[in-house]
Structure 1
Amino acid sequence: MHFTAEQRHDGVREREFTLGEIPGILWTPDAPSEPVPLILMGHSSDLTRMRPRLTARAEATVAQGFAAATIELPGNGTRPRIPAFDQARADLRTALKSGAKVTEDIIDRLILPLIDQAAPESREALDALQSLPEIAPQAGYAGGITALAIRLATIDPRIKAAVLFAGSYLPSTTFEEARALTIPVHVLLQWDDEGNDRQAALDLFDALNTKDKTLHANMGGHTGVPAFEAPASNAFFTRHLK
């Protein structure tokens, strides 16, 4: 891992890094007195586009005594294109535009190759980030592609808690993996999310095998998550990571 840029503002130290070909960003308290737990922040697009929203989430997370980090997804941003993924995304857009049903075939081609590559990369990022003296061994995962969050949480014991943003397309294998998930989970669901299969999100919550799971459902569309949910999510991480 190589740091390539740094800035400090309002008690937050923000560093850009590369992990091989993968760009990423790390936010930490400016002068932590001890190692702090790390929250891996998921997203669903390229870092340049998502950076303002990710930075706002990260700064709120750091204010609660955590570090936050994110990495670019495969096939996005400056990373090499993945033709099969681009075709699946084009097929998805065509289906949505025509009002046709988004088939399981499209969902599998869109999500499964992505998480098959992104989950190991996230583990590599955890290895590198937790080698830093300011980062504690315990970690959480928040947001982004639900199938990726569940995959990573089931295979990496360092992930001790997860906040899921309902609204991603879900392959059938994600429901199977959810039945093996035993860490605490906090789910945010936008009830009127125009692109979300609400019933699938509820079925996934039911499938989660953990005994410690909470669902917060709010009225509104995909980007209308109420501001009060950010401190609620950070309070969830405080309970389980500190």
Structure 2
Amino acid sequence: MRFLSEQRLDDGIVEREFTLGEIPGTLWTPASASASAPVPLILMSHNNGLPKAQPRLVARARHTAACGYAVVTIDAAGCGDRPRSAEAERTRAELGRAMRAGEPVDEIFEALIGPLVENAVPEWLTTLDAALELPEVDDGPVGYTSWTALGIRLAAVEPRIKAAGFFAGGYVPRAQREEARQLTVPLLMLLQWDDEGNPRRRALELFDTFGSKEKTLHANLGGHTGTPWFEAEDGNRFFGRHLK
């Protein structure tokens, strides 16, 4: 992990940009984090190829770090400014067109999101390994939050992830819907009741599918980007129960 920049923000959070081979990422740590007082790690992704610098993700990452966690995010393959294949771009455009037209999108979605998840997982695991080598990061239990499809796969293959927070969940590839049955870690799932891009029924069915014995669903009125800010507080309490 090669750090490119470091700045101490007004709230005391240290924000560092890094590269890990071809992987660009950002790490946020609270001012209290040190080799003698390492803090738990949370992996924070963003949905479907959006960049790590997306303002809503950055705001949540800083808030989470201020509550005593190291937070890492990356632009995995095909995400953010990293190159996308011409085929992926065509599929993404077709998905947008079909959704606007109210046409069936399941197969288009599979063709786009399935490979995106498969390509992202190895890079997230590489990032996890590198972050846990930092002296200010605790090598104990790890949390994951955000993109549901990616989180299901990571929690299924990575035993160090001990708690997961998921957003939405209406459109999740078939492979991850099957993997959801295998999950046993504690889960917190956030659902926007009027999410224009995630069918409510499918999200509820996915929640029912999870194999975890401790799973909590929070549903709030509003569209996709309308998640109330108090859910960030509840999310930090959830991770506090399982990571600290």
Unaligned runs of 5+ in 1: none
- Among 60, 64, 74, the alignment partner of 1:61 is 64
**Corresponding position of 1:166:** 168
CA offset digits 1:126-154 (Å, max 9, x no partner): 0000000011122100012x111000001
CA distance in 2, matches of 1:169, 1:188: 14
- Among 57, 78, 82, the alignment partner of 1:79 is 82
**TM-score for the superposition, normalised by structure 2:** 0.94
**Corresponding position of 2:116:** 114
CA offset digits 1:181-230 (Å, max 9, x no partner): 00000000000001111111001100000000000000011011011100
CA distance in 2, matches of 1:152, 1:77: 20
**Corresponding position of 2:5:** 5
The code of the aligned residue for 1:237 comes to F
Bigger drift between 175-184 and 39-48 goes to 39-48
The 8 Å contact of residues 167 and 195 in structure 1, kept in 2 or not, is answered as no
CA distance in 1, matches of 2:169, 2:198: 5
Unaligned runs of 5+ in 2: none
- Among 33, 37, 40, the alignment partner of 1:37 is 40
| SS, match of residue 224 in structure 2 | coil
The 8 Å contact of residues 85 and 114 in structure 1, kept in 2 or not, is answered as no
Bigger drift between 29-38 and 110-119 goes to 29-38
C-alpha displacement of 1:168: 5.3
CA distance in 2, matches of 1:235, 1:77: 29
The 8 Å contact of residues 190 and 219 in structure 2, kept in 1 or not, is answered as yes
CA distance in 1, matches of 2:51, 2:133: 26
C-alpha displacement of 1:91: 1.2
CA distance in 2, matches of 1:161, 1:233: 11
**Corresponding position of 1:177:** 179
CA offset digits 1:6-53 (Å, max 9, x no partner): 1002120000001111110000012325111111101020234x1x22
Aligned residues, how many? 238
The alpha-carbon distance between structure 1 residues 120 and 168, as it changes in their structure 2 partners (threshold 3 A), is farther
Bigger drift between 177-186 and 38-47 goes to 38-47
CA distance in 1, matches of 2:170, 2:15: 28
**Corresponding position of 1:240:** 242
C-alpha displacement of 1:173: 1.5
The alpha-carbon distance between structure 1 residues 239 and 19, as it changes in their structure 2 partners (threshold 3 A), is same
CA distance in 2, matches of 1:46, 1:237: 24
